[in-house]
Amino acid sequence: MARHPRSQAARCRKPRRERPWPAARVSLALCALALLAGCRQDMHDQPRFKPLAQSDFYADLRSARPPVEGTVARGQLREDSYFYTGMVGDKPGDYMPFPVTREVLDRGRERFDIYCAPCHSRLGDGNGMIPQRGFQRPPSYHTDRLRKAPLGYFFYVMTTGFGAMPDYAQQIEPRDRWAVVAYIRALQLSQNASAADLAGHPVPSPAPRFEEPGSGATLPVEAPQSRERGEDEK
Ligand code: HEC
Protein backbone atom coordinates (compact mmCIF):
# COMPACT_ATOMS: atom_id res chain seq x y z
CA MET A 1 0.00 0.00 0.00
CA ALA A 2 3.03 2.20 0.00
CA ARG A 3 2.63 5.18 -2.30
CA HIS A 4 5.02 5.80 -5.11
CA PRO A 5 7.54 8.39 -3.98
CA ARG A 6 7.35 10.31 -7.30
CA SER A 7 3.63 10.78 -7.12
CA GLN A 8 4.00 12.16 -3.62
CA ALA A 9 6.62 14.63 -4.79
CA ALA A 10 4.36 15.66 -7.62
CA ARG A 11 1.57 16.33 -5.21
CA CYS A 12 3.82 18.55 -3.13
CA ARG A 13 5.00 20.63 -6.12
CA LYS A 14 1.59 21.15 -7.59
CA PRO A 15 0.37 24.03 -5.44
CA ARG A 16 3.67 25.88 -6.03
CA ARG A 17 3.12 25.90 -9.77
CA GLU A 18 -0.34 27.41 -9.34
CA ARG A 19 1.21 30.47 -7.70
CA PRO A 20 1.94 32.90 -10.54
CA TRP A 21 4.63 35.19 -8.86
CA PRO A 22 2.35 38.22 -8.46
CA ALA A 23 5.09 40.69 -7.37
CA ALA A 24 7.18 40.10 -10.48
CA ARG A 25 4.17 40.49 -12.75
CA VAL A 26 3.05 43.72 -11.15
CA SER A 27 6.50 45.24 -11.38
CA LEU A 28 6.76 44.17 -15.03
CA ALA A 29 3.45 45.86 -15.74
CA LEU A 30 4.57 49.02 -13.98
CA CYS A 31 7.80 49.11 -16.00
CA ALA A 32 5.87 48.72 -19.22
CA LEU A 33 3.49 51.50 -18.18
CA ALA A 34 6.36 53.84 -17.35
CA LEU A 35 8.10 53.12 -20.64
CA LEU A 36 4.92 53.64 -22.62
CA ALA A 37 4.19 56.90 -20.82
CA GLY A 38 7.63 58.11 -21.89
CA CYS A 39 6.62 57.62 -25.51
CA ARG A 40 3.89 60.34 -25.38
CA GLN A 41 4.60 63.07 -27.90
CA ASP A 42 1.44 65.14 -28.02
CA MET A 43 2.46 68.85 -28.12
CA HIS A 44 5.80 68.40 -26.38
CA ASP A 45 7.62 68.40 -29.65
CA GLN A 46 6.32 71.14 -31.92
CA PRO A 47 7.90 73.77 -34.10
CA ARG A 48 8.82 76.79 -31.97
CA PHE A 49 11.46 79.48 -31.54
CA LYS A 50 13.74 79.74 -28.59
CA PRO A 51 13.33 83.17 -26.98
CA LEU A 52 14.83 85.94 -29.13
CA ALA A 53 16.14 83.46 -31.71
CA GLN A 54 16.60 84.62 -35.30
CA SER A 55 13.94 83.80 -37.88
CA ASP A 56 14.12 83.94 -41.68
CA PHE A 57 10.36 84.21 -41.87
CA TYR A 58 10.16 87.94 -41.04
CA ALA A 59 11.95 90.67 -42.95
CA ASP A 60 13.58 92.05 -39.78
CA LEU A 61 14.79 88.52 -38.86
CA ARG A 62 13.27 88.81 -35.38
CA SER A 63 11.22 85.85 -34.19
CA ALA A 64 9.94 87.89 -31.21
CA ARG A 65 7.30 90.19 -32.65
CA PRO A 66 6.71 93.72 -31.32
CA PRO A 67 3.11 94.50 -30.29
CA VAL A 68 0.88 95.95 -32.99
CA GLU A 69 1.38 99.70 -33.23
CA GLY A 70 -0.98 101.59 -30.94
CA THR A 71 -1.36 98.65 -28.54
CA VAL A 72 -2.25 99.82 -25.03
CA ALA A 73 -1.60 97.50 -22.10
CA ARG A 74 -4.46 97.15 -19.65
CA GLY A 75 -4.39 99.98 -17.09
CA GLN A 76 -1.84 101.96 -19.13
CA LEU A 77 -4.13 104.21 -21.14
CA ARG A 78 -2.76 107.63 -20.22
CA GLU A 79 -5.06 109.87 -22.17
CA ASP A 80 -4.55 112.89 -19.93
CA SER A 81 -0.84 113.33 -20.60
CA TYR A 82 -0.58 116.48 -18.45
CA PHE A 83 -1.75 114.51 -15.41
CA TYR A 84 1.02 111.95 -15.96
CA THR A 85 3.88 114.21 -17.08
CA GLY A 86 3.22 117.77 -15.90
CA MET A 87 4.24 118.86 -19.39
CA VAL A 88 2.30 120.75 -22.04
CA GLY A 89 4.17 119.94 -25.22
CA ASP A 90 7.81 120.18 -24.15
CA LYS A 91 7.25 122.84 -21.46
CA PRO A 92 5.99 122.34 -17.90
CA GLY A 93 2.42 123.57 -17.45
CA ASP A 94 1.39 125.87 -14.61
CA TYR A 95 -1.97 124.59 -13.39
CA MET A 96 -3.27 121.82 -11.15
CA PRO A 97 -5.11 119.05 -13.02
CA PHE A 98 -7.70 118.91 -10.18
CA PRO A 99 -8.91 121.37 -7.54
CA VAL A 100 -6.76 121.79 -4.42
CA THR A 101 -8.74 121.13 -1.24
CA ARG A 102 -7.67 120.92 2.37
CA GLU A 103 -7.52 117.08 1.95
CA VAL A 104 -5.20 117.40 -1.04
CA LEU A 105 -2.84 119.66 0.92
CA ASP A 106 -2.90 117.36 3.95
CA ARG A 107 -2.08 114.40 1.73
CA GLY A 108 0.64 116.42 0.01
CA ARG A 109 2.20 117.35 3.33
CA GLU A 110 2.15 113.73 4.49
CA ARG A 111 3.80 112.46 1.27
CA PHE A 112 6.29 115.34 1.25
CA ASP A 113 7.34 114.73 4.85
CA ILE A 114 7.89 111.04 4.05
CA TYR A 115 9.62 111.22 0.67
CA CYS A 116 11.12 114.67 0.23
CA ALA A 117 11.82 116.07 3.70
CA PRO A 118 14.73 113.69 4.41
CA CYS A 119 16.72 115.75 1.90
CA HIS A 120 14.76 118.97 1.34
CA SER A 121 13.75 119.33 5.05
CA ARG A 122 10.17 119.84 6.20
CA LEU A 123 10.62 123.53 5.45
CA GLY A 124 11.93 122.92 1.93
CA ASP A 125 15.15 124.85 2.57
CA GLY A 126 17.38 121.91 1.57
CA ASN A 127 18.76 121.23 5.06
CA GLY A 128 17.35 117.74 5.47
CA MET A 129 19.06 115.04 7.49
CA ILE A 130 20.58 113.27 4.47
CA PRO A 131 22.50 116.32 3.16
CA GLN A 132 23.62 116.96 6.73
CA ARG A 133 25.23 113.52 6.58
CA GLY A 134 27.07 114.26 3.36
CA PHE A 135 24.66 113.88 0.40
CA GLN A 136 24.62 116.72 -2.11
CA ARG A 137 22.58 119.58 -0.65
CA PRO A 138 19.45 120.32 -2.71
CA PRO A 139 18.58 123.92 -3.54
CA SER A 140 16.09 125.71 -1.29
CA TYR A 141 12.55 125.99 -2.67
CA HIS A 142 12.55 129.54 -1.36
CA THR A 143 14.62 131.06 -4.11
CA ASP A 144 13.17 133.34 -6.76
CA ARG A 145 13.84 130.78 -9.48
CA LEU A 146 11.92 127.95 -7.79
CA ARG A 147 9.19 130.27 -6.48
CA LYS A 148 8.47 131.22 -10.07
CA ALA A 149 8.87 127.68 -11.41
CA PRO A 150 5.59 126.42 -12.91
CA LEU A 151 3.67 123.72 -11.00
CA GLY A 152 4.26 121.15 -13.72
CA TYR A 153 8.01 121.56 -13.23
CA PHE A 154 7.87 120.10 -9.71
CA PHE A 155 5.77 117.22 -11.00
CA TYR A 156 8.28 116.66 -13.76
CA VAL A 157 11.26 116.64 -11.37
CA MET A 158 9.52 114.07 -9.13
CA THR A 159 8.59 111.93 -12.13
CA THR A 160 11.92 111.89 -13.96
CA GLY A 161 14.49 112.84 -11.29
CA PHE A 162 16.88 115.78 -11.50
CA GLY A 163 20.67 115.58 -11.48
CA ALA A 164 21.75 113.85 -8.29
CA MET A 165 18.13 113.41 -7.19
CA PRO A 166 16.46 110.09 -8.04
CA ASP A 167 12.91 110.04 -9.42
CA TYR A 168 9.97 109.20 -7.18
CA ALA A 169 7.61 107.85 -9.85
CA GLN A 170 7.57 104.37 -8.30
CA GLN A 171 7.07 105.47 -4.71
CA ILE A 172 4.47 108.22 -5.22
CA GLU A 173 1.50 107.68 -7.51
CA PRO A 174 0.61 110.50 -9.95
CA ARG A 175 -2.28 112.00 -7.95
CA ASP A 176 -0.11 112.08 -4.82
CA ARG A 177 2.72 113.70 -6.79
CA TRP A 178 0.31 116.50 -7.67
CA ALA A 179 -0.68 116.77 -4.00
CA VAL A 180 3.03 117.19 -3.17
CA VAL A 181 3.26 119.90 -5.86
CA ALA A 182 0.38 121.79 -4.25
CA TYR A 183 1.99 121.42 -0.83
CA ILE A 184 5.36 122.71 -2.08
CA ARG A 185 3.61 125.82 -3.40
CA ALA A 186 1.96 126.24 0.00
CA LEU A 187 5.39 125.86 1.67
CA GLN A 188 6.77 128.54 -0.62
CA LEU A 189 3.91 130.89 0.25
CA SER A 190 4.42 130.17 3.95
CA GLN A 191 8.01 131.43 3.75
CA ASN A 192 7.36 134.39 1.51
CA ALA A 193 4.10 136.03 2.50
CA SER A 194 3.77 139.78 2.94
CA ALA A 195 1.44 141.48 5.40
CA ALA A 196 -0.74 142.41 2.41
CA ASP A 197 -1.32 138.69 1.68
CA LEU A 198 -3.03 138.40 5.05
CA ALA A 199 -5.72 140.84 3.93
CA GLY A 200 -6.70 142.39 7.24
CA HIS A 201 -5.94 139.43 9.50
CA PRO A 202 -4.03 140.34 12.67
CA VAL A 203 -0.24 140.02 12.50
CA PRO A 204 1.12 138.04 14.22
CA SER A 205 -1.77 135.62 14.03
CA PRO A 206 -3.16 134.41 17.35
CA ALA A 207 -1.55 131.34 18.85
CA PRO A 208 -3.46 128.15 18.05
CA ARG A 209 -5.47 126.36 20.75
CA PHE A 210 -5.22 122.60 21.03
CA GLU A 211 -7.81 119.93 21.73
CA GLU A 212 -5.14 117.31 22.25
CA PRO A 213 -1.60 118.30 23.21
CA GLY A 214 -0.05 115.35 21.33
CA SER A 215 2.45 112.96 22.85
CA GLY A 216 5.56 113.66 20.85
CA ALA A 217 4.84 110.53 18.82
CA THR A 218 1.46 111.99 17.76
CA LEU A 219 0.83 115.51 16.48
CA PRO A 220 -1.23 117.94 18.56
CA VAL A 221 -4.85 118.34 17.42
CA GLU A 222 -5.83 121.98 16.85
CA ALA A 223 -9.17 123.17 18.16
CA PRO A 224 -11.41 123.91 15.14
CA GLN A 225 -11.93 127.65 15.79
CA SER A 226 -8.21 128.41 15.77
CA ARG A 227 -7.93 127.05 12.19
CA GLU A 228 -9.91 130.08 11.05
CA ARG A 229 -7.29 132.78 11.31
CA GLY A 230 -8.11 135.63 13.63
CA GLU A 231 -11.47 134.27 14.73
CA ASP A 232 -10.50 134.71 18.38
CA GLU A 233 -10.23 138.45 17.85
CA LYS A 234 -13.85 138.93 16.72
C1 HEC B 1 17.90 111.72 -1.54
C2 HEC B 1 17.72 113.14 -1.38
C3 HEC B 1 16.53 113.77 -2.06
C4 HEC B 1 15.20 113.45 -1.91
C5 HEC B 1 14.61 112.37 -1.03
C6 HEC B 1 14.48 114.36 -2.74
N7 HEC B 1 15.33 115.22 -3.38
FE8 HEC B 1 14.81 116.74 -4.59
N9 HEC B 1 16.77 117.18 -4.87
C10 HEC B 1 17.82 116.53 -4.28
C11 HEC B 1 19.07 117.07 -4.77
C12 HEC B 1 20.47 116.63 -4.35
C13 HEC B 1 18.73 118.07 -5.70
C14 HEC B 1 19.69 118.89 -6.54
C15 HEC B 1 20.11 117.98 -7.68
C16 HEC B 1 21.15 118.56 -8.59
O17 HEC B 1 21.21 119.79 -8.73
O18 HEC B 1 21.90 117.74 -9.18
C19 HEC B 1 17.28 118.13 -5.72
C20 HEC B 1 16.54 119.03 -6.46
C21 HEC B 1 15.17 119.15 -6.42
C22 HEC B 1 14.42 120.20 -7.06
C23 HEC B 1 15.00 121.40 -7.76
C24 HEC B 1 15.24 121.25 -9.19
C25 HEC B 1 15.90 122.53 -9.69
O26 HEC B 1 15.46 123.03 -10.72
O27 HEC B 1 16.89 123.01 -9.07
C28 HEC B 1 13.11 119.95 -6.81
C29 HEC B 1 11.91 120.77 -7.28
C30 HEC B 1 13.03 118.76 -6.02
N31 HEC B 1 14.30 118.30 -5.79
C32 HEC B 1 11.86 118.20 -5.56
C33 HEC B 1 11.83 117.06 -4.77
C34 HEC B 1 10.60 116.46 -4.32
C35 HEC B 1 9.22 116.98 -4.62
C36 HEC B 1 10.94 115.39 -3.59
C37 HEC B 1 10.02 114.38 -2.91
C38 HEC B 1 9.16 113.66 -3.79
C39 HEC B 1 12.38 115.31 -3.56
N40 HEC B 1 12.87 116.34 -4.29
C41 HEC B 1 13.10 114.35 -2.87
C42 HEC B 1 17.74 115.51 -3.36
C43 HEC B 1 16.58 114.88 -2.98
Count other C-beta atoms under 10 Å from residue 120's C-beta. 24
Q: Kindly report, residue by residue over 7-34, the tens digit of the pLDDT.
A: 555 555 555 556 666 788 888 888 888 7
CA of 150 to the centre of ligand 1 (A): 15
**What local confidence, expressed as pLDDT, does residue 28 receive?**
87
Residue nearest to atom 37 of ligand 1 (CA): 116
**Whether 164 contacts 93, CB under 8 Å:** no
DSSP state of 86: -
Count other C-beta atoms under 10 Å from residue 133's C-beta. 8
For the chain, the average pLDDT equals 85
Q: Kindly report, residue by residue over 148-186, the tens digit of the pLDDT.
A: 999 999 999 999 999 999 999 999 999 999 999 999 999
Quote the CA–CA distance of 183 and 151 in Å, as a whole number: 11
Coil, helix or strand for 149? coil
**What local confidence, expressed as pLDDT, does residue 34 receive?**
76
Query: What average pLDDT score do residues 62-85 get?
Result: 90
Residue 141 scores a pLDDT above 60: yes
Give me the domains of the chain, ranges plus CATH numbers.
101-191 (1.10.760.10)
Amino acid at 15: P
Quote the CA–CA distance of 109 and 184 in Å, as a whole number: 8
CB-defined site of ligand 1, < 6 Å: 115-116, 118-120, 130, 135-136, 138-139, 154, 157-158, 162-165, 168, 172, 180
**Ligand 1 atom closest to 181 (CA):** 35
Range in 47-51, 67-71, 125-129, 215-219 with the lowest mean pLDDT: 215-219
Confidence bin at 40 (pLDDT 50/70/90): low
Among candidates 191, 184, 188, which has minimal Cα distance to 158?
Answer: 184
Q: What percent of the chain has pLDDT over 70?
A: 85
CA of 188 to the centre of ligand 1 (A): 15
Quote the CA–CA distance of 141 and 193 in Å, as a whole number: 14
**What local confidence, expressed as pLDDT, does residue 144 receive?**
96
**What local confidence, expressed as pLDDT, does residue 160 receive?**
96
pLDDT higher at 204 or 116: 116
**Burial classification of residue 204, based on how many CB atoms lie within 10 Å of its CB (0-12 exposed, 13-18 middle, 19 or more buried):** exposed
Which pairs with CB-CB distance under 8 Å and at least 24 residues apart come from 105-108? 105/179, 105/182, 105/183, 105/186, 107/176, 107/179, 108/176, 108/179, 108/180, 108/181, 108/182, 108/183, 108/184, 108/186
